[in-house]
């Protein structure tokens, strides 16, 4: 996936995240999650499982374009498939089934061909294929979990296709995109659950208001706290723990309008982890995620003024908004950060990693003739120059 395609994909992710957050019906939410995932991966089929209270995975939505299957959700036919137990009769974790195994391992599982894999029990899949004249080949299975590692369900896609309609394995770029979508989906599902709980509690309190006034006050206080937590969670990137792109866009717009009124500088840093794909390829995506989180922490600790904003911009890119900071000071701070990262060793999934970063810097005094996208464009341009000129360096726009 080239840079423009990747940027468009992540912009689409932002729009999807906003749409998912606004969805009020759980069945419609799950349908949207599956359809968006299928569309982004160009997959022939997909399934969403929901975790049940009795430690099992329940089929919630099943879609297969080739076979014309659409079950569950808001508009599909009823599902009559047995639940998948998360634990065997002897109490051991069920690692035979790929969906339950993804839950226990808390990681994405990618299978190139189910008919050539003996890692999991695909006997049922092969029997299904034989009965219907289908071939389940490439398989992508991602657990849906909250930030506290509570299992919400599993997202599973089947048979990725190329432009000619040929079945292909799920590429690394697609896996990363669907993992990001799954992260957004988990937040939206948890938010939907919290909102449903809040609404149910509110109705109960309304019925008891005359005789249980004190209990009502206490419950409303809890609801208020839950709303604050919920709002805060919507601004946090699930992988790195720093602010997400949606929050970045909102704050940049607010800060831009304030700086235009008051006439002060805004500096922006766009930074990228050099050769990050090698980290994923060499050590795996779990190590890659931990590396992202470690670098994000280093950036967040460097820029810690109340007005500073550090956010994950997309993939292995981070953005920093620095109000009241001149170009020269921004460059000095960026160089300090670059050196700090270069000299640090990060623990990631049992490995000691050394990485470098490239940084692009742009500074503007906002006026009527420019916009936030101009500042982003300048910073992105010099970030590209920093990477093109050898990486592990800082480039300042206009210098």
pLDDT tens digits, 347-375: 988 899 999 999 999 999 999 889 999 99
Q: Are 101 and 95 in contact (CB under 8 A)?
A: yes
The reported pLDDT for the residue numbered 204 is 77
**Each residue's pLDDT tens digit, 276-323:** 999 999 999 999 999 999 999 999 999 989 899 999 998 999 999 999
Mean pLDDT (the chain) is 87
Catalytic choice (31, 179, 290, 316): 316
Q: Which residues of 181-208 are buried (b: 16+ CB within 10 A; e: fewer)?
A: bbbbbbbbbbbbebeeebeeeeeebeee
Rounded to an integer, what distance in angstroms lies between the CA atom of residue 360 and that of residue 339? 15
Tokens of 25: 């019906």
| Model pLDDT for residues 380-397, shown as the tens digit of each residue | 999 999 999 999 999 999
What percentage of the chain has pLDDT greater than the value 70? 86
In this structure, which CATH number among 3.80.10.10, 3.30.70.270, 3.40.47.40, 1.10.10.10 belongs to the domain 245-396? 3.30.70.270
Q: Catalytic residue at 215?
A: no
Predicted local confidence at residue 27, as pLDDT: 77
pTM of the shown model: 0.48
For residues 264 and 3, the model is more confident at 264
Average pLDDT in the 180-205 region? Answer: 75
Q: Which pLDDT does position 107 carry in this prediction? A: 94
Separation CA 268–CA 359 (nearest Å): 10
- CA 364, CA 268: separation in Å to the nearest integer? 9
Exposure on the CB side of residue 340, measured as CA atoms within 13 A: 17
CA distances from 351 to 106, 128, 215, 288 (A): 19, 41, 51, 11
What is the spatial distance between Cα 77 and Cα 74, in angstroms, rounded to a whole number? 9
Asked whether the predicted pLDDT for residue 251 surpasses 60, the reply is yes
Look at 57-66, 168-177, 221-230, 364-373 and tell me which has the smallest mean pLDDT: 221-230
Where are the domains positioned within the chain?
3-182, 191-233, 245-396
- The encoded tokens of residue 35 equal 């359809």
Look at residue 19 in the predicted model and tell me its pLDDT: 59
Residue 15 has pLDDT above 70, yes or no: no
**Which pLDDT score is estimated for 214?**
66
Q: At 235, give phi and psi (nearest 5°).
A: -105, 0
What's the distance, CA 204 to chain centroid?
A: 35
Q: Which of 308, 303, 347 is nearest to 324 (CA)?
A: 308
Return the pLDDT at 308.
93
Which residue is associated with the tokens 């009795």? 54
Confidence of residue 177 (pLDDT cuts 50, 70, 90): confident
Report residue 62 CA to chain centroid gap: 23
**Distance of alpha carbon 12 from alpha carbon 78, whole angstroms:** 31
CATH code for residues 3-182: 3.30.450.40
What are the pLDDT digits (tens) for 241-250? 999 999 999 9
End-to-end CA distance of the chain: 31
């Amino acid at each position: 996936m080239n840079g423009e395609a990747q940027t468009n994909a992540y912009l689409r992710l932002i729009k999807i995240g906003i749409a998912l957050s606004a969805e009020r019906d759980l069945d419609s939410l799950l349908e949207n999650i599956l359809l968006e995932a299928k569309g982004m991966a160009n997959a022939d089929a997909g399934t969403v499982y929901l975790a049940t209270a009795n430690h099992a995975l329940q089929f919630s939505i099943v879609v297969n374009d080739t076979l014309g299957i659409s079950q569950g959700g808001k508009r599909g036919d009823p599902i009559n498939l047995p639940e998948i137990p998360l634990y065997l009769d002897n109490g051991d974790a069920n690692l035979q089934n790929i969906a339950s195994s993804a839950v226990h391992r808390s990681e994405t599982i990618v299978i190139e061909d189910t008919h050539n894999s003996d890692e999991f029990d695909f006997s049922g899949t092969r029997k299904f294929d034989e009965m219907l004249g289908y071939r389940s080949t490439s398989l992508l299975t991602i657990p849906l979990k909250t930030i506290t590692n509570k299992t919400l369900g599993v997202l599973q896609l089947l048979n990725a296709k190329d432009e000619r309609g040929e079945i292909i394995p799920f590429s690394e770029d697609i896996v990363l995109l669907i993992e990001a979508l799954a992260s957004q989906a988990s937040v939206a599902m948890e938010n939907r659950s919290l909102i449903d709980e809040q609404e149910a509690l509110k109705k109960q309190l309304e019925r008891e208001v005359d005789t249980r006034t004190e209990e009502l006050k206490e419950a409303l206080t809890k609801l208020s706290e839950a709303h604050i937590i919920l709002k805060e969670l919507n601004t946090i990137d699930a992988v790195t723990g720093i602010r997400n792109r949606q929050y970045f866009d909102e704050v940049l717009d607010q800060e831009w309008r304030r700086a235009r009124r008051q006439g002060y500088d805004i500096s922006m840093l766009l930074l990228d982890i050099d050769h990050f794909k090698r980290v994923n390829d060499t050590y795996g995506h779990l190590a890659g995620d931990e590396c992202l989180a470690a670098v994000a922490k280093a950036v967040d600790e460097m820029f810690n003024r109340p007005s500073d904003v550090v956010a994950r911009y997309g993939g292995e890119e981070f953005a920093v908004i620095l109000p009241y900071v001149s170009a020269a000071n921004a460059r000095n701070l960026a160089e300090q950060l670059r050196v700090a990262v270069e000299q640090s060793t990060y623990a990631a999934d049992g490995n000691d990693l050394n990485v470098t970063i490239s940084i692009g810097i742009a500074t503007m005094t906002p006026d009527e003739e420019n916009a936030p996208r101009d500042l982003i464009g300048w910073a992105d341009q010099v970030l590209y120059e920093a990477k093109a000129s050898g990486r592990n360096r800082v480039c300042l726009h206009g210098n």
